[in-house]
Amino acid sequence: MSSLLIVGITVFVLASFIGFEVITKVPPTLHTPLMSGSNAISGITLVGAVIAATAGGDVLATVFGFLAVTTATINVVGGFLVTDRMLGMFRRPKRPDEEAS
Amino acid sequence: MSSLLIVGITVFVLASFIGFEVITKVPPTLHTPLMSGSNAISGITLVGAVIAATAGGDVLATVFGFLAVTTATINVVGGFLVTDRMLGMFRRPKRPDEEAS
Amino acid sequence: MRIRVLREPAERERRVALVPRGASTLSDVGHDVVVTAGAGTAAGFPDEAYEGAGAVVTADPGPADLVLAVGPVTVDDVGDTGVVLAFLDPLGSPGEMRRFAEAGITALAMELVPRTTLAQSMDALSSQATAAGYEAALLAASRLPRFMPMLMTAAGTIPPARVLVLGAGVAGLQAIATARRLGAVVSGYDIRPAAKEQVESLGAKFVGGPVAETAETSGGYAGEVDEETRRRQQEALAEAVADSDVVITTAQVPGRAAPRLVSREMVERMKPGALVVDLAASTGGNCELTVPGETVDHRGVSIVGPLDLPSRTAGHASDMYSRNVVSLLGHLTDDEGALVVDPDAEVAASGGVTEDGELVYDRVRAALEDDA
Amino acid sequence: MRIRVLREPAERERRVALVPRGASTLSDVGHDVVVTAGAGTAAGFPDEAYEGAGAVVTADPGPADLVLAVGPVTVDDVGDTGVVLAFLDPLGSPGEMRRFAEAGITALAMELVPRTTLAQSMDALSSQATAAGYEAALLAASRLPRFMPMLMTAAGTIPPARVLVLGAGVAGLQAIATARRLGAVVSGYDIRPAAKEQVESLGAKFVGGPVAETAETSGGYAGEVDEETRRRQQEALAEAVADSDVVITTAQVPGRAAPRLVSREMVERMKPGALVVDLAASTGGNCELTVPGETVDHRGVSIVGPLDLPSRTAGHASDMYSRNVVSLLGHLTDDEGALVVDPDAEVAASGGVTEDGELVYDRVRAALEDDA
Amino acid sequence: MSDAARDLVYLAAAAAFIIGLKRLGSPRTARSGNLIASTGMLVAVVVTLLDLEIIEWWALVAGLVVGGAVGVLLALRVQMTSMPQLVAAFNGFGGAASALVAGAEFIRLEQVELPVETILTMILSVVIGSITLTGSFVAFAKLQGLVSGSPVTYPGMRFVNGALAVGAVGLVVWAQATQEPLAFWLAGGSALLLGILVVNPIGGADMPVVIALLNSLSGLAAAMTGFVITNSALIISGALVGASGLILTKLMTEAMNRSLSNVLFGAFGGGDSGGGSAAETGDATSTSADDVAIALAYASRVVVVPGYGLAVAQAQHALRELMTELEARGVEVAYGIHPVAGRMPGHMNVLLAEADVPYDQLLDLDQTNNLLPRTDVVLVVGANDVVNPSARDDAASPIYGMPILEVDKAATVVVIKRSLSPGFAGIDNPLFYLDRTKMLFADAKKAMTDLVSALETV
Amino acid sequence: MSDAARDLVYLAAAAAFIIGLKRLGSPRTARSGNLIASTGMLVAVVVTLLDLEIIEWWALVAGLVVGGAVGVLLALRVQMTSMPQLVAAFNGFGGAASALVAGAEFIRLEQVELPVETILTMILSVVIGSITLTGSFVAFAKLQGLVSGSPVTYPGMRFVNGALAVGAVGLVVWAQATQEPLAFWLAGGSALLLGILVVNPIGGADMPVVIALLNSLSGLAAAMTGFVITNSALIISGALVGASGLILTKLMTEAMNRSLSNVLFGAFGGGDSGGGSAAETGDATSTSADDVAIALAYASRVVVVPGYGLAVAQAQHALRELMTELEARGVEVAYGIHPVAGRMPGHMNVLLAEADVPYDQLLDLDQTNNLLPRTDVVLVVGANDVVNPSARDDAASPIYGMPILEVDKAATVVVIKRSLSPGFAGIDNPLFYLDRTKMLFADAKKAMTDLVSALETV
Ligand SMILES: NC(=O)c1ccc[n+]([C@@H]2O[C@H](COP(=O)([O-])OP(=O)(O)OC[C@H]3O[C@@H](n4cnc5c(N)ncnc54)[C@H](OP(=O)(O)O)[C@@H]3O)[C@@H](O)[C@H]2O)c1
Ligand SMILES: NC(=O)c1ccc[n+]([C@@H]2O[C@H](COP(=O)([O-])OP(=O)(O)OC[C@H]3O[C@@H](n4cnc5c(N)ncnc54)[C@H](OP(=O)(O)O)[C@@H]3O)[C@@H](O)[C@H]2O)c1
Ligand SMILES: NC(=O)c1ccc[n+]([C@@H]2O[C@H](COP(=O)([O-])OP(=O)(O)OC[C@H]3O[C@@H](n4cnc5c(N)ncnc54)[C@H](O)[C@@H]3O)[C@@H](O)[C@H]2O)c1
Ligand SMILES: NC(=O)c1ccc[n+]([C@@H]2O[C@H](COP(=O)([O-])OP(=O)(O)OC[C@H]3O[C@@H](n4cnc5c(N)ncnc54)[C@H](O)[C@@H]3O)[C@@H](O)[C@H]2O)c1
């Protein structure tokens, strides 16, 4: 096994730990926005898509790249926007003690 | 900068995130045991010490290595043991509903 | 419609059937309200208050379309009227009912208003039982030569009084709540199975004893129980009664003598200084030793059979009764304000005893035929 | 030592100074306890119970070393004895105290036992005030022609009664607690600054009014207040009194007439059906209209001046008094069981009124000299 | 720009994702979390472009323009109620992207002899991405009502799915060992099929859980792509989403009182109108203490309507505690008391006085009905008949004409009781089936305690 | 053994540390967490040995034997009360080890031209390790009473420390730029000095915080060593401890109501007997709601002694709630009522009846005193005179002879009141200064609410 792979695995494992830890108790109302937001993050594959689309070579590969950029962009742009829209509903009333400050 | 260093930094940052996340609300009674346990973990430097002590070469380096192994071992062995001793005090009474099962 | 408010004929009765607020409601919808002078004084409603509410106060009110009273009243008490509305005790005095019929007076008995969810605002039995239950607990507390609540003081620890409430209807539940408020340890018992949950819903204990699925008739009333059940009841209750400092009994079966729940022997096993308050005194009492309207001392145990409990909180009791009456009239009058006693509408049907000179209530007729 | 338990001379007094349990404690440590026949009956302690506790019950008990009574008692009541222990009201009847001195009887007044943390188990003022406060609230609740608690029912919403307690000493606080238990909205007032926290510690509201730092004397009693404070007090209380359904007054100043807190005008501003219960009736009353021992009706407001409140819960009140007495005797007797009235020990010093034929209590002497 | 600098920027972007994800977990910080994560994404893409040796322009520009436009359009136009299916669709696109990148790489490197691990991650990326793609779109179709939302099963279904899965694994092994294009593409194709077949039997009500799981998978696909193109940003973010998606899936199944295997293989589910995270009981919508706590915390006025159930559960102290907590947070609270609530006149007064509820918070029928239209949340605790709208609306009802507390005038109605069973009057209550009504099925005391602790996390 | 395999094992060990650390944070899992972490350590060391090309044997063996023996001896022999200083000492050893490894590496590679980053991490490792070493041992000495525990300051102290710090940084820069051994060793030496000078001015009561911070530093040192020898196990574990140590430090300062800068530069602190995490007020030991919650949760019998303060705070409902929660956890609870508690006869009865405390849980004086010697925790809530032992022990006391509730017979006494001020009788209460007494200074109602929420996390 290459050391690059080992590094990849190490990073993968550590990031997974973070993923497990970072989310603990989330109220059900936030389940959908959270899912949507984390789905947008998984659109990071856009970075790969950009590389695939611009690397040239086989036309089929470039077409694949084009499709990849398109779908990934939909995922990223749409995902973050729609998450923000969903979260728009959380506006809290001012507490009496907050009004003073 | 070497890519090894970048990898090191990546790993370091990810592990730090885990460190920040993994501990959230700890009751004060556990502060000392937790400190002791995590201190024992930092004794991982023993791995480095072992390498330093066995690599040969300069005698001074080996002497340093010996000292490093000694101190690191104290830290690791003593640390884990004493943590366990401290935690010995947590024994909970059986609840009525637990006794059934 | 000319509505007359009676000054109650019964001696210890301090309530009044309509309070000034009710009088003003009725005047507002166009009725003429006439109040016998002094009718509300004992309940804390002076004649001036009625005048202020648009009623006419007079010593001799003359004929009317409708007479309101708390009751019970006789044909002589009501005088010249078309309809009378009061607690008429139709099953207890069927003869009087026949006399109403003969006099051509339509008699509406407040106790026959159905006990449904819908009719609760007209349910005077409930409102007056509320007052009775509350006053029963207070009466017990002040008669008792000891404290109700637990007190741990420098002069010793005083254990809480034990209160047992037999019969957990409206009055019983209110007595339970009031005794609990005062800090007593309260248990309750009733023959209806649903009562257990209700007693416990007030934080009191339910005393194990026979419950009879069949005991609950339609309308939520208890029926009479057979001899075997009675015997098991007495057994189960004997211990609980003996342990109690106060026993409040409220068990009733409509139209029948009150069930005998506490026997002489049971009283004799109670501690000296203990107390029995019998709310069923008027129908013969739940305790063997009860003398209606009096306090009996039996070997250090007092047995009180009060008849005037709701009158002890006459102001509020009248207020509630008055609202019940107004609410019922709202149901019984048509758009022009005339009284329409429609035998098919549930509320009125069950309230009516006599109509057009006839006895329309089966059980009264039955009672009279039994007599005959 | 021969200890005699008096049958209380006062007519309405149902308490007894020593209950059978106390008698047995005293017999056990070697005293001879003699009980006048029938002494405990009214409190629920039959003669047999005393006999069972090792006491001698007789109609004519003869001479004794120590006489126990609830009081007040005269020289004639106690007969031939060395010491008498009772509520003697030394400041109210200094003449009687001189007579005790002349008769060579050592008079120990229960009301002079100091109100310190240490002496609480002998503090009969506190234990009897507890009973009085509790009974006062109950009396108010049962006399009131309305409910204490709030009730939202199908027959209308009944607002909670408003109860105002003036004077938040032991009895006042207990009255507050009991009225709160019954669901009333309670406020309290006292001249001592510390009382505010105490009233609030029972969940009641403190009525704004003048408090006087100087009002609290050593021992926690209130002193007399000057004219200016009295005026401001009346002003501040006028509104609160007018708003109340029940006013319970308990303000006392030891050895003086009770402060006048509720004037005729204030009563006249109260609602018809409202109630004043004056616990200070025996020392003249906090209300201008109070007649001790009677109920006055003034324009629809009843003013009750009960004198027998602790007697209404005679069983427990006697029980507590008896424990106070036993506890005090424990302090006053030496190892052989003989009574040692040591004027230097705090407890006894303050309890003693006469000794060796002398008046030893300054304030009584002063009162007598004033008279002379 | 040096590789090192680029990699450090990727690290920063990954950190932004981590922080963003964390903040998304709490209502107070969620919005800013989304902003942080999206900023991280922008930075990562920009640094990639700067760093890139661009050989072909058109595919990049066209893809960004088309994708961006479609994304914005969908995100802004779609109705709030269709959110779950939209997320499913986005997720499908993400899976497709990962598969396509790996596919493109495979094509480009077809002639090169690749190390085993590279082929393996490529195939995994394609397979996982493809399953995500088709699975997500089936979920989308079910939620959107394009196909029947009810579970679709047929005899031997498990066998077929199993065989297909085994086949796909075989193809993966084959492709990985030989770098044979046919095997590679066949594996991808069977994954597409598998996605459809696995999701199809699952009912519409369970779809949110399925989407969460597919979301986790799309993270995994991105991570695999990261291995393929040796890009740590993809590996970290992919792993992050993969792991947190699993946790989220677990949370969601717990909120529905289901287990994951139950959802995936149980092949049953509620009716065809499964929306949001709410499970269903009949036509009434049930909810969780956590959701109610949020609704309460973000309300400005809450009215409690207690009934006999409060008394049975003896929950008055716990109720008072909950209300005190809400008051401390600046919510206006009141208690609406119906004259016949409970089983005796004044029953509620007895209980609430015991719990020391201030009298001035107790409102009678008229006061309450005046307040209800201006109330954000009304909390019906163990009451039933006294809030039954048929007394007002249904002339045939045995209680027609009785005045009721018109809780259906409030913005949100939460009803706490143990089941849908009727109250004293023995009649059904249409309130429970209103859209604005959420049922919290629990003993009243337990519900109160749960609400108090749920409130602490809001 | 291949490098890849070794690295994977290291990764597994790191995972064990992460899991272990997480479990150490909750009383229920702490012990198993420690076990998991130590297993990870064993695995990491063993795989290192297997993988190693061993040139010199003696240093390894001697070091392991000596270190192991000393470690075991210290861990098992030292008294429980000396735990904080023992942890400090261990921590010092850990820091020393990191510094020594980096030093050895420096010596070994003296002749080789090293890349900048390698030297930098070497020096950082030596410097941080050295500060940890001396700092920890000063903390040890203070706690052990070897030097005065009170803050030691002198005029110009800050200036001297600042200068030294600047000098050390200069040396680091110099060494890093030139690989000059003199600069290297001087930097290490000044770090040793800095450790002493920085910790010395801090008072004994603040030492636990300092140790936590030094613990975080020792993690950092290990991580730097990891960079030096390019070992991911060290980097991960070191970063983990470094980060979690910071969080722990923050938690501890919060528990003491201090800020970190306040601790480090405030140069003040309590007396010289600072033990555990408890802050001090006079001679009484104050405690936190979290600690009391643990004590309550792990007790088998708890007796509450309420007093006037409970009434003033109107905390009866909250108290009842706390006790109900404890009962649900299987703790036996009772209320010990002193006859004169409060300000009127029966005051406590009124309150507790209002809160619906079952009568059979109310014990009078004698019953309570019988039970107290068999009680694990007695919770004195706003009571004072009625639990004053001088009424029993001190013939000169004005309340001598009054019967009291002998709460000092219980294993642990927790007193909840707002201050040390006296009660009604106006006399001081020696109970507050007993070793077994912990004071929770707070309004009784607030304390109850805090305890209830603290209990949830136990
Ligand atoms: N006030 C009076 O004087 C009086 C007297 C007699 C009769 N009534 C009648 O009683 C009714 C009162 O109305 P209401 O709304 O108060 O009560 P209700 O209509 O009887 O409904 C009470 C509801 O509480 C729920 N419940 C029972 N135990 C519970 C628990 N432990 N936790 C949570 N929920 C629980 C029950 O549903 P689940 O089983 O699903 O939990 C039930 O549907 C009216 O019909 C009235 O006419 C009143
Ligand atoms: N029972 C009776 O009949 C009666 C009548 C009159 C007098 N007394 C006397 O009163 C005393 C009763 O003893 P006790 O132990 O109950 O009371 P205590 O000795 O008066 O002590 C009460 C303690 O509660 C604390 N406290 C006050 N408010 C508080 C709050 N909001 N939160 C937390 N703590 C609070 C106070 O300390 P902090 O200020 O530090 O918080 C105070 O030290 C005895 O001396 C007794 O003789 C009794
Ligand atoms: N629908 C409504 O809204 C509504 C309103 C008020 C009352 N109610 C119902 O009406 C019913 C009667 O109430 P009430 O107070 O007028 O009853 P009541 O005065 O006729 O009787 C009092 C209680 O005595 C009990 N009892 C009778 N015989 C007994 C025996 N042998 N042993 C023990 N207990 C015995 C009865 O069960 C009843 O609970 C109750 O079920 C009540 O819930 C309904
Ligand atoms: N040390 C102890 O343990 C202990 C025990 C019992 C009582 N005490 C204390 O003894 C004191 C007296 O109690 P008590 O009940 O016997 O008092 P009390 O019967 O003499 O008087 C009753 C109350 O009336 C108040 N009062 C007097 N004049 C007033 C005026 N003009 N306006 C308003 N209020 C007025 C007094 O302040 C007192 O609170 C209290 O402070 C009490 O706390 C102490």
DSSP 8-state symbol, C281: G
Nearest by CB to A11, which of B10, B18, B24? B10
pLDDT value for F383:
95
3-state secondary structure of E440: strand
Spatial contact of D1 and D27, defined as CB atoms under 8 Å apart = no
- Taking 50 as the threshold, does the pLDDT of residue E281 lie above it? no
Q: Are D296 and D303 in contact (CB under 8 A)?
A: yes
Q: Measured between CA atoms, how close is E9 to chain F, in angstroms? A: 19
**Percent of chain E at pLDDT exceeding 70:** 95
Q: How many residues are given for chain C?
A: 372
Q: Measured at the alpha carbon of residue E322, what is the angle toward residues E320 and E326, in degrees to the nearest 5? A: 115
First to last CA, chain A: 60
Q: Which of E337, E340, E402, E419 to mutate to test the pocket of ligand 1 (most atoms within 8 A of CB)?
A: E340
Q: What's the pLDDT tens digit per position in E188-244?
A: 999 999 999 888 888 777 888 899 999 999 999 999 999 988 888 999 999 999 999
Q: If phi over 0 gives left and psi between -120 and 50 gives alpha, with beta otherwise, what is residue D337?
A: left
> Do residues C131 and C309 lie in contact, with contact meaning Cβ atoms separated by under 8 Å?
yes
Q: What is the distance between the alpha carbons of residues F150 and F267, in angstroms, rounded to a whole number?
A: 9
Other residues' Cβ atoms within 10 Å of the Cβ of residue D127? 29
Mutate to test the interface with C, among F304, F310, F349 (most CBs of C within 10 A): F349
List, in order, residues 6 or more apart from D239 with CB less than 8 Å away.
none
Q: Helix, strand, coil shares of chain E as percentages rounded to 5?
A: 65, 5, 30
Q: Which residues of F are catalytic?
A: 385
DSSP letter string, D331-347: HHB-TTS-B---TTSHH
Which residue has the least CA distance to atom 41 on ligand 4?
D220
For residue E335, name the pLDDT band (cuts at 50, 70, 90): very high
Higher pLDDT, D95 or D53: D53
Which pLDDT band holds residue D356 (cuts at 50, 70, 90)?
low
Identity (one letter) of the amino acid at C345? A
Per-residue pLDDT, D218? 62
- pLDDT at position C112: 84
At D185, which helix (H) or strand (E)? Answer: strand D185-189
Cα distances (angstroms) measured from residue F156 to each of F138, F160, F203: 20, 6, 18
What is the DSSP annotation of C62-98?
Answer: --EEEEE-SS---HHHH-SEEEEEE---TTT-HHHHH
A98, pLDDT greater than 50: no
Give Cβ neighbours of residue F227 (< 8 Å, ≥ 6 apart).
B5, B8, F117, F118, F121, F125, F235
The DSSP 8-state label assigned to residue A74 in this structure reads I
Q: How far is CA D210 from the centre of its chain?
A: 25
Tokens of E451: 């609400």
What pLDDT score does F436 carry? Answer: 87
Please tell me which of the candidates E350, E401, E424 has its beta carbon nearest to residue C177: E350
Report the complex ipTM.
Answer: 0.74
The amino acid at C275? L
C in contact with A (at least 3 C-beta pairs within 8 A): no
| 3-class DSSP state of C302 | strand
Q: What CA–CA distance (Å, rounded) separates A23 from E10?
A: 22
Task: For residue range A23-79, list pLDDT tens digits in order.
Answer: 877 777 788 889 999 999 999 999 999 988 888 778 888 899 999 999 999 999 999
Closest Cα to residue D109, out of D346, D272, D352? D352
CA dihedral (E195, E196, E202, E204) in degrees, to 10, reads 110
**Atom of ligand 2 at shortest distance to CA of F306?**
16
| Long-range contacts from E253-258, C-beta under 8 angstroms, 24+ separation | E253/E209, E255/A28, E255/A31, E255/E288, E255/E290, E256/E206, E256/E209, E258/E206, E258/E209
Give residue-wise pLDDT tens across range C27-61. 998 899 999 999 999 998 999 999 999 999 999 88
CA atoms within 13 A on the CB side of E220: 20
Q: Give the SS3 label for residue F306.
A: strand
Banded model confidence at residue E266, pLDDT cuts 50, 70, 90:
low
Mean pLDDT estimate for chain C: 88
Gap from D345 CA to chain F (nearest CA, Å): 12
Q: In chain B, what is the greatest distance between 2 CA atoms, to the nearest angstrom?
A: 66
D95 has a pLDDT exceeding 50: yes
Going by pLDDT thresholds of 50, 70 and 90, the confidence category of residue A95 is very low
> How far is the alpha carbon of E368 from chain D, nearest alpha carbon, in Å?
13
Is residue F90 within 8 A of residue B92, CB to CB? The reply is no
Using a CB-CB cut-off of 8 Å, the residues of chain D touching F342 are 201
**Is D303 within 8 Å of D101 (Cβ atoms)?**
no
Of residues F217 and C347, more confidence is placed in F217
Give the model's pLDDT for residue D15.
95
Which residue from F27, F236, F243 is facing B27, i.e. has the nearest CB? F27
> Is the Cβ pair C153, D43 closer than 8 Å?
no
pLDDT tier at D215, thresholds 50, 70, 90: low
Residue among F447, A66, D325, D147 at smallest CA distance from E60: A66
Closest CA to D137 of D279, D303, D280: D279
Query: For position F279, what pLDDT does the model report?
Result: 38
Helix and strand counts by DSSP (H, E) for chain C: 13, 17
- Report the pLDDT averaged over residues D84-112: 87
* Gap from C339 CA to chain E (nearest CA, Å): 19
The per-residue pLDDT for C307 is 92
Distance E339 CA to ligand 1 centre (A): 13
> Which of the 8 DSSP states describes residue F91?
H
User: Which whole-number Å values give the CA distances from F120 to C16, F102, F228, F306, in the listed order?
Assistant: 100, 11, 9, 62
Residue C255 Rama label (left phi>0; alpha psi -120 to 50; beta): left
Closest-approaching ligand to the CA atom of C173? 3
CA C134 to centroid of ligand 1, rounded, Å: 22
Residues of chain D positioned with their CB less than 8 A from the CB of F345: 126-127, 130, 170, 174
Q: What pLDDT is attached to residue B98? A: 41
The residue that leads in pLDDT, D358 or F173, is F173
pLDDT for D236 equals 86
pLDDT along chain F (458 residues), means of 10: 84 93 86 93 92 81 92 87 87 93 88 83 92 93 80 72 84 81 88 89 82 92 90 92 90 76 58 36 77 86 95 92 90 93 90 88 92 93 94 88 91 93 90 91 92 82
**What pLDDT shows up at residue A101?**
41
**Does residue B100 carry a pLDDT above 90?**
no
Contact in structure between F311 and D201 (CB atoms under 8 Å): yes
Q: Give the number of other CB atoms < 10 A from CB of residue C75.
A: 18
Which percentage of chain E shows pLDDT scores above 90? 45
Q: What is the pLDDT of residue A20?
A: 87
State how far the Cα of E214 lies from the Cα of E200, in Å rounded to an integer: 14
How far is residue B5's CA from residue B8's CA, in Å, rounded to a whole number? 5
Q: Looking at per-residue confidence, does F291 or D133 come out higher? A: D133
Contact in structure between F223 and B12 (CB atoms under 8 Å): yes
Give the pLDDT confidence score for residue F278 in this predicted structure.
38
* CA distance between the termini of chain B: 60
Q: Which amino acid is at D291?
A: V
Task: Check whether C180 has a pLDDT greater than 60.
Answer: yes
**Shortest CA distance to C341 belongs to which of C91, C28, C82?**
C82
Residues of chain F contacting C202 with CB distance shorter than 8 Å: none
So what's the pLDDT on residue A24?
78
Long-range contacts of F178-182 (CB under 8 A, 24+ apart): F179/F113, F179/F114, F179/F119, F181/F106, F181/F110
The 10s digit of each residue's pLDDT in E355-410 is: 889 888 999 999 999 999 999 899 999 999 999 999 999 888 888 888 999 999 99
Compute the mean pLDDT over every residue in chain E, rounded to the nearest whole number. Answer: 86
- Give the model confidence (pLDDT) of E88-138 as tens digits: 999 999 999 999 999 998 888 888 888 888 888 889 999 999 999 999 999
Task: Determine, for residues D149 and E350 on separate chains, whether the beta-carbon distance falls below 8 Å.
Answer: yes
Inter-residue contact D177 to D184 (CB < 8 Å): no
Nearest to D261 by CA among D292, D230, D227: D230
Other residues' Cβ atoms within 10 Å of the Cβ of residue E188: 24
Q: Cβ contacts (< 8 Å) between A1 and chain E: which residues?
A: 117
D347 vs C178, residue with greater confidence: C178
Task: Please report the pLDDT score of residue F258 as a whole number.
Answer: 72
| Res. C140 pLDDT band, cuts 50 70 90 | very high
How confident is residue B99, by pLDDT bands cut at 50, 70 and 90? very low
Phi, psi (deg, nearest 5) at residue C205 = -90, 145
Say whether residue E236 is in contact with chain B using an 8 A CB cutoff.
yes
